Amino acid sequence: MGRQLSKDENNPLNTLDDWEDNILERYPDPSTNEKKKEEFRNYEDSERVETVKEFYRLNHKYQTYDFVCEKENEFLKFNQKEMSLWDAVDFLNTLVDDSDPDIELDQLQHLLQTSEAIRADGHPDWFVLTGFLHDMGKVLCLFGEPQWAVVGDTFPVGCAFSDKIVYPEFFQENPDAENEKYKHKYGVYKENCGLDHVKMSWGHDEYLYQIMKDYLPEPALYMIRYHSFYAQHRENAYDYLLNEKDREMFEWVRKFNPYDLYSKAPVPPDANALKPYYEDLVAKYLPEKLRF
């Protein structure tokens, strides 16, 4: 049985997919025809727009520098659960949103669609694996974390918030926006210091990166860590914090993004048929047990 996430003030979204649908709305598939885009917009013109907006309001209000430090202290001890990647997939799949579970693709299907699209384009196996596991950090929801601390566009904390981030006006509610230490362009950072020195808002990206960092090649780790950093990989809003290596590696993040956003296949992937291939792939790169 899936666990129902209670829809309360902390969790305004009916489904985590509403955030991803909002991204699609902002960055539509260039190959999708105009009629489809039109249909999509009509669908969005509803109560959903308001819940997504409320979700961003909470996200932008509460994701402060101190909040990120707190979450790092809490979750980077990795003392929540020890699981194989497969246990984690099953665990993540118990995440059922308030919306009709029959309509929504489950988490595994999103992962398989992403990874299968990567595989079909002939990319290296570690890239396929990255597609397959990139959202596993969403298990944070199952540890009781609010939606706004699991998903949502990510952005640097500890320096000025860019107006290229979706709904920038909501940062007025974030105390860091008034804090002398954090409110200036560079904040606590130095020009081109490199993203490894920059704290990002807390969510499924950073969490999974920290779990995977010893096991996957560097481009894979960048894809995992920055896949929701739209303000950079789509808008280049934080060029002044990136170093040369980041710039090089962001080419991979950009290569990954369309597979994440635009890989919804008309026929859902056959998880059982695909399992042996992914079992081998997981065994090639990852240890038997992972600490979450």
Least distance (Å) between residue 182 CB and Fe ion: 26
Stretch that binds Fe ion, among 28-36, 83-91, 129-137, 240-248 (CB under 5 A): 129-137
Instruction: Give burial (CB, 10 Å; 0-12/13-18/19+) of 235.
Output: middle
**Cβ of residue 91: shortest distance to Fe ion, in angstroms?**
16
Cα separation, 166 vs 237, in Å, equals: 12
Q: Does 18 bind Fe ion (CB under 5 A)?
A: no
Least distance in Å: CB of 191 to Fe ion? 29
- Taking CB under 5 A as the rule, which mask of x and - marks residues 80-119 in contact with Fe ion? ----------------------------------------
Question: CB-wise, 60 or 227, nearer to Fe ion?
Answer: 227
Which CA distances in Å does 108 have to 92, 192, 274? 8, 37, 12
Regarding 206 and contact with Fe ion (CB under 5 A), the answer is no
Among 18, 135, 145, 153, binds Fe ion (CB under 5 A): 135
On whether the CB atoms of residues 202 and 283 are closer than 8 A, the answer is no
Q: E strands, 51-143, where? A: 82-83, 95-96
**Residue 136 Cβ vs Fe ion, minimum distance, rounded to whole Å:** 9
Comparing CA positions, the residue from 255, 145, 241 lying closest to residue 200 is 241
Percent of the chain that is helix, strand, coil (3-state, to 5): 55, 5, 40
Chosen residue from 260, 263, 269, 278 binding Fe ion by CB under 5 A:
260
Give me the residues that bind Fe ion (CB under 5 A), please.
135, 260
